[in-house]
Structure 1
Amino acid sequence: MTAPRFLQIHWLASYPGTLINRDDSGLAKRLPFGDAVRTRISSQCLKRHWRTVEDDWALNQIGPEMAVRSREVPEYRVLPALEAEGVATDEIRKAVVLALAQALYGDKAEDVSKRQALLLGEPEIRYLISKVSEIAAAAADAKSAGEAVKTAFKEEKANLSSMRKNGVLEAGLESALFGRMVTSDRAANTDAAIHVAHALTVHAEQGESDYFTVVDDLARDAGESGAGGIFDTELTAGLFYGYVVVDLALLKSNLGGDGALAGKVCEHLVHLIATVSPGAKKGGTAPYAFAEALVVEAGSRQPRTLANAFRQPTAARSEAAAAALAAHLSSVDEAYGAHEKRHHLSLQPIEVPNSSRIGLDGLGKFASAMASA
């Protein structure tokens, strides 16, 4: 088998009595699919938790520096650094920081609420601190300092992209994996090597309104009746199908051609997908679960989701969902040929066509070997 181009990861995970991902009205996110409306977990929610988790398989344990997503990097990272270094006066520092914000976030950057959060790598942040520090130290007053920053960013249009000569990792590991867009410096954009689908329940949505009260301890002790507050929220239960694709060629390119590093990323990713639960209302729902089934495939054809196995809603049982997934995969193999190499993990014995059942560590090592090939 030649070096594969894509790694595909399919997973099933069950969450009872939770509110994993909310919409703007505070209700569970939903998606019409096939014959039913499903509960949904957005790809942004999934990626956020995989990016920020702290455990042995965290992304920050891989090696390369991470990144910071914020719309206030100049105020929260650059300004404190200038103050700590004692660079120039307070007025000059504020002027260069505002000018930097306008260069990064646009002309309306003075209003923080109108900025869009930008993903910047730690090396890039150090670069920005160094650049504005040099300008501030040489400035005679606040006005000239601000103008000098604007001029520097106009003359050196590719301020961030100029760092790409040192590799995409200057923008942080997250950028190399999940991509980023920089409107002020488009050459600094990075294409995502990891593509994440929205997860959806394999069955119709299952939700309930949870009515609850808050007891006022002091009022109760005083003999008063009644609650200190009356509330309601939505709770859902669901067995979710999720799908992730890794463009291995692009991943290696984004990582400077380092196949071993690409392998390490994919091994960590498999562990994160299997064991990290997204979720809100953690204190009230404990939304933690491990995947009940995981299928990892490596091949060079265009990837294809297996979500269509659930276009007709299935029973909310992992055995039924796994059987539907396996049947759909068998049909795909029969129609198009079984060209992918695959292994799977499952809590119950299930038959996945052209696949062997192994544990999570073995599945991670398989993903690593395919990525580093």
Structure 2
Amino acid sequence: MSLFLEFHLIQNFAPSNLNRDDTGAPKDAIFGGQRRARVSSQCFKRAVRLAAKQHELLPEANRGIRTKKLKALLLERLAGRDAEEAGAKVEAALGAAGLKLKDDGKTEYLLFLGEGEVAAFAALIEQHWDELPVGGDKKSKKDAKASLPAEIIKKAKALLDGGKAVDVALFGRMLADMPAVNQDAACQVAHAISTHRVEREFDYFTAVDDKGDEGETGAGMIGQVEFNSATLYRYAVLDLRKLLGNLQEDRELALSAVEAFTRALALAIPTGKQNSFAAHNPPEFIGVCLRHASPLSLANAFERPVSPRADQALTEQSVERLTAYEDKLAPVYGAPQDRWLSLDLTDRWPADKGERLASLAALAQRARELAADALGA
């Protein structure tokens, strides 16, 4: 049976520009015929990864790195060796795995690797130091690669197994010329959209020159920044069986990943223009649902946008709308054994709808226990 752990968040941000488009304006989208604020899934996924690192929700060995500077990372781990010789051997080892480097020493595209994979490459180079070539011109490098022992090539290719990195397991990766090491994501994240209609606003600003002359008038600089303020509906869904498979059937690590992801998702706030706006606003509502049939996004609860009211906050109205739509959708598409957990600061989620938790730590722990029960022994 399918097992999906869903996350539904209602989060109100003060004036901000968390995720910009190519013109510097806050991203938006037309939904239900109305313009909505939008924060991209890519933006929130990076914020989740940064939150997990900042709050040390997972051991470093189970985190990933997205970079083109793999050679530089490996040279740091081989710091006791001659730099030029180590550089040549790193290139040979990466070439054996099928990873190409450009003339500047960077990979051709961003790699998403587990810390364990990087450490394993360093260990491979140390283990086979004498067998790896010391470099030369491009032709000799090609010949050197061809002459590498088959054992080294086999080991190098086997290293790219995800390294039990939780963020790689969650969000997947694609290496264009190495499809064998691609990993399908266990987690899908929707673009966050505002539950109500939004218009862009403009902040006209001036900056004064502290060293201006007495007779100097006017500003040293003028400009404008676009921003908005929005109550967002955020949605993510985690395929528990896929997560377990991506983590090489390590059940304890998969459960730790569920707990860490629950906390990181709530703590994740994009960094865009935060020095100007400081919109550090946590979610007002977090709902976690274990689905046994298929995932159910509740975004269409807001196809008709919520309208501002003097007597009720947008967050409160949004949670009420979410509840009503889930009550309509679940009997048709859900399963009787679906279970809800909630953390609700609006007091608008029904008290009898699942289990209510009082803190983020408690919610994350119960999400872990729910996943454990669902996955079985």
Q: Same fold (TM over 0.5)?
A: yes
SS of 1:304's equivalent in the other structure is coil
The residue aligned with 1:354 is: 353
> 2:20 aligned with 1:25, yes or no?
no
The residue aligned with 2:65 is: 68
SS of 1:49's equivalent in the other structure is helix
C-alpha deviation, 1:149, in angstroms: 3.7
Q: Which amino acid aligns with 1:327?
A: A
CA distance in 2, matches of 1:33, 1:158: 50
1:140–1:357 distance in 2 versus 1, CA, 3 Å = closer
C-alpha deviation, 1:343, in angstroms: 2.0
1:96–1:323 distance in 2 versus 1, CA, 3 Å = same
- Note the alpha carbon deviations across 1:35-73, whole angstroms, 9 max, x for none: 212111111111111112267854434x74322111121
For this pair of structures, how many residues does the alignment match? Answer: 362
Q: How does 1:280-299 map to 2 (within 5 A)?
A: 280-299=272-291
Instruction: Give unpaired runs (5+ residues) of structure 2.
Output: 309-313
TM-score (norm 2): 0.84
Q: Which amino acid aligns with 2:81?
A: G
1:97–1:267 distance in 2 versus 1, CA, 3 Å = closer
- 8 Å Cα contact 1:259/1:371 also seen in 2: no
> 2:142 aligned with 1:142, yes or no?
no
The residue aligned with 1:269 is: 261
CA distance in 1, matches of 2:38, 2:146: 44
1:128–1:152 distance in 2 versus 1, CA, 3 Å = farther
- 8 Å Cα contact 1:99/1:150 also seen in 2: no
- Note the alpha carbon deviations across 1:93-127, whole angstroms, 9 max, x for none: 44455566667787683367983210122222233
Tell me which moved more, 173-182 or 227-236.
Answer: 173-182
- Note the alpha carbon deviations across 1:182-201, whole angstroms, 9 max, x for none: 23332222221121111111
1:355–1:80 distance in 2 versus 1, CA, 3 Å = closer
Say what the alpha-carbon RMSD is for the aligned residues.
Answer: 3.0
SS of 2:238's equivalent in the other structure is strand
CA distance in 1, matches of 2:347, 2:119: 51
The residue aligned with 2:311 is: none
The residue aligned with 2:369 is: 369
> 2:122 aligned with 1:129, yes or no?
yes
> 2:63 aligned with 1:50, yes or no?
no
C-alpha deviation, 1:24, in angstroms: 1.9
CA distance in 1, matches of 2:176, 2:153: 12
> 2:239 aligned with 1:247, yes or no?
yes
SS of 1:331's equivalent in the other structure is helix
- 8 Å Cα contact 2:98/2:178 also seen in 1: no
- 8 Å Cα contact 2:98/2:157 also seen in 1: no
Q: How does 1:1-373 map to 2 (within 5 A)?
A: 5-53=3-51, 57-61=55-59, 64-74=61-71, 76-82=72-78, 84-87=79-82, 90=84, 92-97=85-90, 109-110=102-103, 115-132=108-125, 134=128, 139=133, 142-143=136-137, 144=140, 147-149=143-145, 152=148, 161-163=157-159, 168=161, 170=163, 172-219=165-212, 222-315=214-307, 317-336=314-333, 339=336, 340-352=338-350, 354-359=353-358, 360-373=360-373
Q: Which amino acid aligns with 1:139?
A: P
C-alpha deviation, 1:298, in angstroms: 0.7
- 8 Å Cα contact 1:96/1:146 also seen in 2: no
CA distance in 1, matches of 2:109, 2:285: 37
- 8 Å Cα contact 1:158/1:188 also seen in 2: no
Q: Which amino acid aligns with 2:266?
A: A
- 8 Å Cα contact 1:71/1:116 also seen in 2: yes
- Note the alpha carbon deviations across 1:264-291, whole angstroms, 9 max, x for none: 2222222222233123111111021110
C-alpha deviation, 1:159, in angstroms: 5.6
C-alpha deviation, 1:229, in angstroms: 1.0
CA distance in 1, matches of 2:37, 2:61: 35
Instruction: State the identity as a percent.
Output: 30
Q: Which amino acid aligns with 1:357?
A: R
SS of 1:367's equivalent in the other structure is helix
TM-score (norm 1): 0.85
